[in-house]
Chain A
Amino acid sequence: VGWNVVTGYLNSAARNLTNGQDQPEHDERYAICEEYMDVVYKLWNSSWRSDAVKLDRKTAVYTDPELVREINHKGKYFTVPGPHICQPSPQRTPVIMQAGTSTAGRAFAARHAEAIFVSTHSPAGVKDSVADVRAQMVKNGRDPAGLKVLAKFCPILGRTQEEADAKYRDLAQYGDYEGALALFGGWTGVDMAPYGEDEELRYVKSNAIQGYIKNLIRTAPDVNGGKWTKKTLAQHIMGEFVLTL
């Protein structure tokens, strides 16, 4: 099994899971996550020897206690003595995946990820962040060729261009504008409700929006001539801008 390691981004999750508190800030979440990985690696890889389970009916030994040990992890966020409660599984550590291109996210990927998710309209849009992760992997003593890059795309298939176009139009008519903006609000923490439909977002007084739009212009330069409005944003999320291949 594979694990896409995330730290969460929704305060609605935090409020329900941490007795009403909002989530810790972004870099703190990654610091917690870093120690978290340390703990799970110890449990998976350092607690049981592969031959610890004997299942020996003659000697009446199920697990040899000498071959299972505690991890005695004591850190800033977690204290976990162990041992791990499961015997080693086929992979021990699941495939580690990561998504997100923040500075902390890229540093995390360079230490842990075997595969990263990227979202872009063209390879050029993610070239820099992939190169950065690979360069950091080298610094961490990892082989950068070991990293898989998983690019998101949603193909609409048809035997002919016309058939594909018709399928696309059929699907697109069901897209939900308010739902798209609801998703954007969750991903970014930015409420688009106060903004006008055709207001160009590059110029609004919000660092979060400006940063996000700057990123969109970089990863999807072909959309609406670089003019991003609330409407463009919703349409983009609903998948109304497609490339014909």
Chain B
Amino acid sequence: MWLSTAKAGPRSDWCLTPLLKCVCPRDRHKSLIHTFTVHLADHVSGSGHQSPGLWKHPDDRSSDFNSVKHWINLAQQLEKGKFHGMFIADVLGGYDVYGDTLSHAAKSGAQWPVNEPLSLVPAMAAATESLGFGCTISTSYEQPYHLARRLSTVDHLTGGR
């Protein structure tokens, strides 16, 4: 539970849906969300994210994003630096509107190439104690049954982080 220092408590059993249809189910457990400032580090599972071109800097390591060690190091560094969580943004296609071509994004490394973010989370969770994780996932291209399973799996593997 990455917005909280508390362990996630037991949840009510299969009673929420009729009562709380279309409203966030955790409101019943709002004590889980504390009122401290949340520090999140924002990334994308690629090199560029929203700073196109910075991969050219001689000290840049973001182009190591294909290596799981890169992410483990990053997560450990964030935890050491007292960050509460790490957020990984995502897109499912290239930025091809400008000039009607993908060339500008490809050349400058503007969120291209980009890997799938949720896969990174269990590895980073295994290498840290308290860092939480968030990922962007679209509801437009994946069946809810499938996504519910993917998120349940990662919630199990991270112990709710």
Contacts and interface: CB of A to CB of B under 8 A. Distances in A.
Interface of A: 1-8, 10-18, 23-24, 29, 32-34, 36-51, 69, 71, 78, 80, 82, 84-86, 88-97, 111-115, 140-143, 145-146, 148, 150, 152, 170-171, 174-176, 178-186, 188-193, 237-239
Contacts of A184: 98
B113 interface: no
A182 B105 contact: yes
14 contacts: A1-B2, A4-B134, A6-B138, A8-B138, A41-B21, A44-B148, A50-B10, A51-B13, A80-B144, A89-B151, A90-B8, A95-B1, A141-B23, A238-B52
- CB-CB nearest 4 A-B residue pairs: A179-B52, A179-B108, A90-B160, A176-B53
A96 B24 contact: yes
The bracket for how many chain B residues form the interface is 35 or more
Contact of B121 (A1, A15, A112, A175): A1
Nearest to A109: B24
A140 B25 CA distance: 12
A116 B73 CA distance: 27
Contacts of A180: 52, 110
Contact of A49 (B14, B110, B138): B14
Given A3-B134, A13-B91, A96-B24, A46 B57 contact: no
A179 B105 contact: yes
A143 B30 CA distance: 9
A21 B22 CA distance: 28
Given A84-B152, A238-B52, A78 B144 contact: yes
Given A1-B161, A150-B38, A8 B140 contact: yes
Contacts of B40: 150
Contact of A12 (B54, B55, B96, B154): B96
A114 B144 contact: no
B80 interface: no
A11 B141 CA distance: 12
Given A29-B140, A94-B151, A41 B16 contact: yes
